[in-house]
Amino acid sequence: MIEVRELTKRYGSEVAVDRISFTVRSGEVLGFLGPNGAGKTTTMKVITCYLPPTEGTVLVDGLDVRHDSLAIRQKIGYLPENTPLYPDMVTYDYLEFMAAMRGLDGAARRRRLAEVIEVCGLGDVLTKRIDALSKGYRQRVGLAQAMVHDPPILILDEPTSGLDPNQIVEIRSLIKTLGREKTVILSTHILPEVQASCDRVLIIHRGRIVADGTPDELQSAHGGQRILFGVQAPEPEVRSALERVDGVRVEEARTESDGTLLLRLSADGQKDLRPELFRLVVERGWTLTELHRERVDLEEVFRQLTMN
Ligand SMILES: Nc1ncnc2c1ncn2[C@@H]1O[C@H](COP(=O)(O)OP(=O)(O)OP(=O)(O)O)[C@@H](O)[C@H]1O
């Protein structure tokens, strides 16, 4: 549905996006993740035809952003980072105006307005001025205007930024509902957002893609595991035995007041090392007091990939 090939975007001499390639399949909800200044907004602006690419190709449903801007805009609903609304307009009038701008009129316009008002939960605020709405409602109005022409693709730039925790939950569940019918690209630097809403994640850093996969795949490929291992045994003996367990590193060791040795171990990959550690304890006749495994979460994967 969307194909980005070797896209580069420069602002003067500054390279904001550097030869990135990815595709978004129809019906997919893709999370576009990256620290501030990574190039997320720039990429979205090129896909939505607000900015031309410096180099490379972007195809939307087979149409090229360089040549088919109008046709592409009809297929895309865009919610920019700072939703541009007309603050002194009443909600319904604003949505009606946006629908008219999109070429809808008569019964079709009324029907479509009723649908987006229902989906976005705007029934209670239709007669209120936009500047009197809470940020969460303004964001819903932004989503409603992005969807008014019923585009198959939605591009949402940081849709929950500045919202309170309740509003965040509401907007996320709205995005999930929309994702059942539409192809969605969602940019964010909030990790739970990606885990809550996205089928697939692209991590972008300094204008380049550093990871591409499902949240689970990224955790498996780039994460590892941590094991909390507590035994009653002499530390040198434990350390030397652990050296023979493949892939395990001792990150931290301390002895508790009751003589228990508490070790924080790390290991690459996802193979569960607990059975092996348990066998070691039995073989050596040590007393086991703790054996707990944690997967490295997406947050840590993100930090590792975007640290420098
Ligand atoms: N209009 C512009 N003129 C010059 N440089 C720009 C312009 N817009 C963005 N940049 C630069 O391009 C780089 C990428 O910015 P972009 O806004 O795409 O990142 P982002 O990932 O969306 O960041 P954020 O999460 O902060 O919105 C940054 O270094 C930014 O300063």
Residue with tokens 């964001």, as numbered in its chain: 139
Confidence of residue 20 (pLDDT cuts 50, 70, 90): very high
The model's confidence at residue 223, banded by pLDDT at 50, 70 and 90, is low
What is the pLDDT confidence band of residue 132, given thresholds at 50, 70 and 90?
very high
Instruction: Summarize pLDDT for 153-185 with one digit per residue, the tens.
Output: 999 998 887 778 887 888 888 888 888 889 999
Measured in Å, residue 171 CA sits from the centre of ligand 1 at: 25
**Test site for ligand 1: of 41, 157, 187, 209, most ligand atoms within 8 A of the Cβ:** 41
Q: Whose CA is nearest to atom 8 of ligand 1?
A: 42
Instruction: Tell me the domain boundaries of the chain.
Output: 2-213, 224-306
Q: What is the CATH number of domain 2-213?
A: 3.40.50.300
Give the Cα separation of 239 and 47 in Å (integer): 54
Q: pTM to 2 decimals?
A: 0.80
Nearest CA to ligand 1 atom 10: 16
Query: Of ligand 1's atoms, which has the minimum distance to the CA of residue 204?
Result: 21
Residue nearest to atom 31 of ligand 1 (CA): 37
Tell the residue number behind the tokens 């040590």, with chain if given.
286
The tokens describing 71, both together, are 């046709």
- Model confidence at 240, pLDDT cuts 50, 70, 90, reads very high
Indicate which atom in ligand 1 lies nearest the CA of residue 17.
14
Pocket of ligand 1 (CB under 6 A): 11, 14, 16, 34, 36-42, 81, 189
Q: Whose CA is nearest to atom 26 of ligand 1?
A: 36
State the fold for domain 224-306. Answer: Alpha-Beta Plaits (3.30.70)
pLDDT digits (tens, 9 = 90+) for 248-282: 889 899 999 888 999 999 887 777 889 999 999 99
